[in-house]
């Protein structure tokens, strides 16, 4: 518990162990709103949140609460002035994730924290992707609730944590009732092996954060430059400045994402994220960014981590370039573009 707390700048008494960030998100959103349901009926979140946050909000909407989904700019960041305008006297929670899992963008959490302090609204952030990768400080960010995940920092799967501020104390209605473990917030036997694993992972992450970040940044540049040297029409989705170095979401023009994925069988990439893998629709995150439909369909997410090697990056570049070139060769759209025809002007005939 102390190991997890040390990584985020909190006290061990403020850490509650759960089964994962999904459960922590559920407890935060539904728990807070149910507890304050008499006075607070409004929640503010963003359009690019993780599925579990959006789903919890939808559940709240079905119960009669109101939810505002803030739009994001084309760089993936929310507009702080818009946030200010949306805050109402009955706003019970603002939930914005720190690092996005699909595009890797880092939201301006410190500024959001300041706004929440000003209006005295609890601030919840899903820091599952941020933990151990960027500096997380619950005081500086002024968060009341933070969701953490074990397996995102090379810990075991099936464990996570929820940070709950004690001063000023935030109250939640527990989602798991029972014997009163974890200060009554989350009943159920605490899974000792998983929790020990998460603690060890957090301690390691704290020691290795600087070394990892430097190395991963170099690998990200190597990947991006390697691909850009060989092919054009490559777009990076999300802001290049405010991003986590281990995530690269690229769109390749005139190529379809799923077919590129099938061609890249040896590389562990995804077109979207694990929680949207069942559907063939382009990801809602990219749609929120305002990316064109055709570019949204071609996006691929590369993840770089502590164990990624330079050779793997080079191999990924080689395979990606080969596949993209092959697919473009087969594509009639690409032929038309090379001849100079403007695709947007084409009138597609109905069959």
Partner 1 sequence: MAASGAGVPMRREVLQLYRSLLRVARQFCDYNIREYSKRRTMDAFRDNKNLRDPSQLSAAFSHGKAQLEVAKRQSLLYSLYPPKVKSIMDF
Min CB(267)–partner 1 separation in Å = 8
Q: Which is nearer to partner 1, 256 or 312 (CB)?
A: 312
Q: Which is nearer to partner 1, 167 or 207 (CB)?
A: 207
Q: Which is nearer to partner 1, 203 or 256 (CB)?
A: 203
Displacement of CA 328 from its chain's centroid (Å): 30
Min CB(309)–partner 1 separation in Å = 5
Q: Which is nearer to partner 1, 116 or 198 (CB)?
A: 198
Integer angstrom CA distances of residue 273 from 246, 276, 278: 15, 5, 10
Burial class of residue 285, CB neighbours in 10 A (0-12, 13-18, 19+): buried
Nearest C-alpha neighbor of 77 from the set 56, 55, 100: 100
CB distance 8 to 136 below 8 Å:
yes
- What is the CB neighbour count within 10 angstroms for residue 166? 11
Min CB(159)–partner 1 separation in Å = 20
- What is the CB neighbour count within 10 angstroms for residue 167? 7
| List of residues contacting partner 1 (CB under 8 A) | 211, 266, 306-309, 311-312, 315
Q: Which is nearer to partner 1, 292 or 318 (CB)?
A: 318
Min CB(299)–partner 1 separation in Å = 23
CB distance 55 to 193 below 8 Å:
no
Q: Which is nearer to partner 1, 13 or 211 (CB)?
A: 211
Min CB(307)–partner 1 separation in Å = 4
Give 314-331 as a DSSP string: HHHHHHHHHHHHHHHHH-
What region does 233 belong to: left with phi over 0, alpha with psi -120 to 50, or beta? Answer: left
d(CA 94, CA 108): 13
Nearest C-alpha neighbor of 55 from the set 86, 95, 17: 95
275 is catalytic: yes
Integer angstrom CA distances of residue 330 from 262, 293, 326, 337, 340: 15, 20, 7, 13, 17
Token output for 299: 């996006």
Min CB(215)–partner 1 separation in Å = 9
CB distance 148 to 24 below 8 Å:
yes
Token output for 5: 């707390």
Catalytically active residues are 275
């Amino acid at each position: 518990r102390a190991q997890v707390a040390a990584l985020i700048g909190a006290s061990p008494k403020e850490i509650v162990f759960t089964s994962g960030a999904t459960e922590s998100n559920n407890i935060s959103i539904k728990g807070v709103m149910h507890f304050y349901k008499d006075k607070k009926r409004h929640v503010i979140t963003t359009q690019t949140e993780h599925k579990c946050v959006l789903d919890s909000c939808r559940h709240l909407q079905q119960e009669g609460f109101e939810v505002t989904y803030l739009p994001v700019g084309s760089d993936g960041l929310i507009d702080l002035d818009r946030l200010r305008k949306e805050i109402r006297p009955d706003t019970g929670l603002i939930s914005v994730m720190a690092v996005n899992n699909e595009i890797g963008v880092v939201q301006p959490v410190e500024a959001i924290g300041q706004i929440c302090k000003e209006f005295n609204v609890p601030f919840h952030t899903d820091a599952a992707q941020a933990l151990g990768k960027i500096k997380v400080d619950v005081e500086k960010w002024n968060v009341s609730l933070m969701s953490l995940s074990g397996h995102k920092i090379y810990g075991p799967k099936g464990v996570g944590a929820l940070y709950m501020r004690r001063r000023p104390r935030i109250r939640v209605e527990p989602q798991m009732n029972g014997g009163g473990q974890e200060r009554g917030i989350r009943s159920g036997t605490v899974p000792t092996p998983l929790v020990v694993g998460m603690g060890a992972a957090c301690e390691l992450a704290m020691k290795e954060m600087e070394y990892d970040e430097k190395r991963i940044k170099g690998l990200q540049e190597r990947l991006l430059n390697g691909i850009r040297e060989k092919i054009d029409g490559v777009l990076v989705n999300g802001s290049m400045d405010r991003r986590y170095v281990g995530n690269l979401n690229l769109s390749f023009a005139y190529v379809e994402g799923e077919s590129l994925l099938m061609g890249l069988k040896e590389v562990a990439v995804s077109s979207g994220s694990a929680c949207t893998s069942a559907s063939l629709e382009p990801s809602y995150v990219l749609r929120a960014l305002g990316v064109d439909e055709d570019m949204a369909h071609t996006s691929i997410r590369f993840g770089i981590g502590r164990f990624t090697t330079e050779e793997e990056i080079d191999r990924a570049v080689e395979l990606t370039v080969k596949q993209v070139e092959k697919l473009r060769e087969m594509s009639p759209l690409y032929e038309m573009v090379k001849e100079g025809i403007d695709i947007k002007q084409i009138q597609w005939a109905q069959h």
